[in-house]
Amino acid sequence: MGRRAGITVPVLLALGLAMTGPAPAQEPKRGGVFRVAVQEAPGLDPHLTISFLSHSYVSLSYSLLVRFPNGPEQKHPADFSIVPDLAEKWTISKDGKVYTFSLRKGVRFHNKPPVNGREVTADDVKYSLERFMAKSAFAMRFEPVSSIDAVDRYTVRITLKEPYAPFLNHLANPVFCAILPREAEEKFKDFNHPDAVIGTGPFVLKSYEKGVRAVFERNPNYFMKGLPYLDGVTIEITPDASARLAMLRAGKAEIPHIWGWLGVEEARALSKTNPEMQVTPQQVIGVGFIYMRTDQPPFNDIRVRRAISLALDRKSWNDVLLFGEGCIDSGPVPCALKEWKLETSKLDPAKAKYLLGYDPAEAKRLLAEAGYGKGLTTPLFHWPGYVAPWRSYYELAAENLGKIGVTAELKPEEYGKYSSTTMVGKYEKMAMGPSTPFTEVDDFLYGRFYPELATNQSHVADAELAKMLVAQRREMDLKKRKQIVDDIQRYLADKAYYIYVPQWPQYVSHPAYVKGFKPHDGYGLGMRLVFTWLDK
Amino acid sequence: MRQYALRRIALAVPTLFLVSVIVFLLMRLMPGDVVTRMVEGQGYAPTLAALRHELGLDRSMPVQYADWIGGIVLRGDFGRSYWTRQSILEEFVHRFPVTLELALLTILISVVLGIAAGIISAARQDTAADYVSRVLAILALSVPYFGLAVVVVVVPSIYFKWTPVWTYVAFTADPLANLKIMLVPALVFGVTRAGPIMRIMRSSLLEVLRQDYIRTAWSKGLGERTIVLRHALKNAMIPVISLVGLQIPLYIGGSVIIEAIFRLPGVGLFFFEALGKLDYPVVQSVNLIIATMVVALNLLVDLSYAFLDPRIRYR
């Protein structure tokens, strides 16, 4: 089945438009304040929390060493090529182990005490990346780093223990590597205090009233000349989703979510009541799946896992819940990661049927062969609070599995418990939920399948696979790495370690006067708003 | 009286101690681990261990308890949030006026509406006014306040491109703007809480109106207004006041959802979010502060009886 089999023509057209951008270039207007209605972030220190909200808030104020393209620079929403940010240029040694970055000269931190607009130097980069390695929960992604040196005022050298292909992508991810000034930590102990948010990014945090709003103003000294167009950004803290949508409708916010996303039902309702709104479907990065204890019976038996996969009627899920606009071919590499995805149509059909096929009769036969002819019972742990369509997904999964004799008992968990037990692999038999949408294919492969990792929720321990997983992250030649990633996808096709469910699009929604706000699949908000302007 | 007050204050100490132990243990009994929750499964051993150490979670439970309660008793330090590392007391003091104002306005609205409707209904029994009041009271009783809140926020935004959701302004900064913001949530909450008050007011007043002394008043030729408002109402109010008193926890509990829907940065939301994030110190300290307030209020109420009814004596 084609990977876009589940996407309708209008969606494809819209995605196409998003990729090519608006045809007649309008001259951007300067001015105006962009208002974002969103929940409160749990903190502001980019290393002490991994919340996408925290990272998106402070992405308005911080810069990175390198970044992903945004606005007119990006070719499509999942464009993860690397462009300069604070580093003007960089070189990678032939053995792939030494990265040398040359910093832009004359870039200054925001003019706030105790930093007072001093210039960014190589020491700041060294300090920030070392702090990331010491404090961030994502630090594992820098495990291959052996040293970070400030060679001179404007040159940083990062030495790795081994070649590590995902490295630049991680450096470009706003979730990880914001460049911070040491003085602010010395004064405020960490970067959670609003006065400690001092970066080199496009917007300066002027005030932050907890539970109410955060006010950012344009950084007059931003190193990208003439940008941003906006005078400022205000985050209107709004915990309730219906209130956020009401604010969009009433003209009190430009976007009802940190990235402007609405779910399929909300987007349809909005288009109906407010046809003047611009609603753009975006196939976002993400994977949802059933995960199982593949190290224990009954799911250590491949026949049982394949039976589970064959029991799911993914096309009906997509038609009924996602109005046919979702992507069925959703794993192990997400639909939106186009550069890395090996479409199921290119796989051996005999294997691919265990990835996407629907065949309850065959599923029953496999179960009987595995000794479960009379069926089996399993809990299905999950967190019911994930946005639509998840609640329906859990019920549909249980219903589909019931048809082949597998009784899946729905076990809803409170988020604190789910995220600290089930989600990190501490559960019995079976669970279900979405994956964090990462920007590097390594996270969906190495992170999900390498033995002993907490993110290896299915407890996969496959030596042959593990070798390939390590090989792809050490391969610096893009073409060769792509081949290994393809091989991994071919290898995984019939293993049914995870059972993938259709991926739904998000609908980027804002008034028509918002221009240049291009959907991008990376994290952060700052760079999206650098190129945004208001036509009013 | 003074002795009684002192004895009650002395008794409050073990009560609050028990509250602190229970809330401390309950948080730890909740499934899940705060450090894993904070990193959502992304951390690996060294980061997790460092974070656990930084938050003091690698110490034994009695040590953690002693550290927390010792901080409060000896230094007035209610601790810091695990997530934001900000002072809990500062945050509480900042947010408490919002919740207090919402609760007071809600009580005011529900009491005024409930009592007025109850009086009209009872004084005009079996007339159109009575039926309308009763239907409205049943509606108020059966519509959940959070449902009404969502309707009030969403419906005008669809049909009139307007919504009663504003950016919060403190009363001290701009009283008028503040009241404009607080009025709609307090009305939504107050109207739904007025239902039971109206029902009790009506039945209580009807009962009083049938008593002999009221008949005597009628026979003396007194006007309706004097009989209902001066003679009957006072006696009919006792069950109403009890009901309002019993509803106070509901005003605090309900504020969580009202605060979330109407963007009010109050204590309810602070507490609720901390629970979801397993932010132990916040839940413990906010709980203890509120428990202290309840104990103090109870004491004040008990002492006030003596002023209201001279027959009551404390020993």
Q: What are phi and psi of B18, to 5 degrees?
A: -60, -45
Any chain B CB within 8 A of the CB of A415?
A: yes
Residue A57, pLDDT > 90, answer yes
Residue A24, pLDDT > 60, answer no
Q: What is the pLDDT of residues B224-276, one digit of tens each?
A: 889 988 888 888 888 888 788 777 777 777 888 899 899 999 998 898 889 88
B163, B255, B262, B271: best mutation site toward chain A, by most A Cβ within 10 Å? B163
Q: Is there a contact between A454 and B46 if contact means CB atoms under 8 Å apart?
A: no
Residues in chain A with CB shorter than 8 Å from the CB of B266 are: 211
Residue A11, pLDDT > 60, answer no
Predicted pLDDT at A14: 42
Any chain B CB within 8 A of the CB of A414?
A: yes
Distance from CA of B290 to the nearest CA of A (A): 20
Residue type, position B299, single letter: L
Q: What is the pLDDT of residues A152-202, one digit of tens each?
A: 999 999 999 999 999 999 999 887 799 999 999 999 999 999 999 999 999
Predicted pLDDT at B252: 75
Distance from CA of A211 to the nearest CA of B (A): 5
Q: Does B311 or A8 have the greater pLDDT score?
A: B311
Average pLDDT over residues A311-336: 94
Residues in chain B with CB shorter than 8 Å from the CB of A414 are: 30-32, 276
Query: For residues A330-351, b (16+ Cβ closer than 10 Å) or e, as one string?
Result: bbbbbbbbeebbbbbeebeeeb
Distance from CA of A104 to the nearest CA of B (A): 32
Share of chain A above pLDDT 90, in %: 81
Predicted pLDDT at A94: 95
Q: Is there a contact between A213 and B163 if contact means CB atoms under 8 Å apart?
A: no
Predicted pLDDT at A1: 32
Indicate the average pLDDT of chain A: 92
Predicted pLDDT at B69: 95
Whether residue A357 contacts residue A392, with contact meaning beta carbons closer than 8 Å, is answered with no
Residues in chain A with CB shorter than 8 Å from the CB of B30 are: 414, 416-417
Q: Is there a contact between B32 and A190 if contact means CB atoms under 8 Å apart?
A: no
Q: Where are the beta strands (DSSP E) in A174-318?
A: 203-209, 213-218, 232-237, 261-262, 277-282, 288-292
Whether residue A77 contacts residue A192, with contact meaning beta carbons closer than 8 Å, is answered with no
Predicted pLDDT at B311: 64
- Which residues have CB under 8 Å from A68's CB, separation 6+? A74, A79, A80, A81, A82, A83, A172, A173, A439, A520, A522, A527
Predicted pLDDT at A436: 82
Q: What is the pLDDT of residues A487-529, one digit of tens each?
A: 999 999 999 999 999 999 999 999 999 999 998 988 899 999 9
| Listed ranges A374-378, B227-231, B286-290; the one with the highest mean pLDDT | A374-378
